[in-house]
Structure 1
Amino acid sequence: MNLVFRPTDEMNLSRVELVISTYIFTRHLPKSKILIDVGDCYATRGALMTLEPKIEVVDDVLNSVVCMLTAASNQHTWFLPTTIMRKCSMISS
């Protein structure tokens, strides 16, 4: 398969994780395909490809993780999306 990167042995991925990573990181599939949809947040294959080693991760991926963590939390815990964090850092500067 023509992947963006090859998982290394050190990653110790299971078969299911290998199949999922192949589906996400295959070069010839459409980058516009939405692979994560959690209400107000979503991430396309192109956004998830920023999880490739040595690439800066885009906000769509981080915000999707924030949404999933907040929804799964059984405590009163908030995980703030990057837009709010950026505004907070600008105020405190």
Structure 2
Amino acid sequence: MFTCFFILNHHHNEIPLSCLKKQILNLLDASQIAHFIASTTGVYVSTISRLHSKERSEPQKSVGGHPSKLSPANVCHAMHLISTHKAENAVQITKALTNIIKH
């Protein structure tokens, strides 16, 4: 017996889960941002973020040079600030991260 799971996106379309997952992962691999993928697929940004964390969680390899000044958690928080419109530029992000790091 063949079982096919479907997901109901916020456009109220039923899409085979395996097809949608493959499409989202392909877009992520092409360096597309979650908001673009959400508008293209109709899947919520939070779902795309969870899929990215689960399927593409391997650490990035260093390309040489000096180590990053920001931890992965700080980078994640900065992206959250931007996506929720709590920060609009680098100065606002720097201030927010500085407050977190100091405390």
TM-score by length of 2: 0.29
Larger radius of gyration: 2
Normalized per residue, which structure has more helix? 2
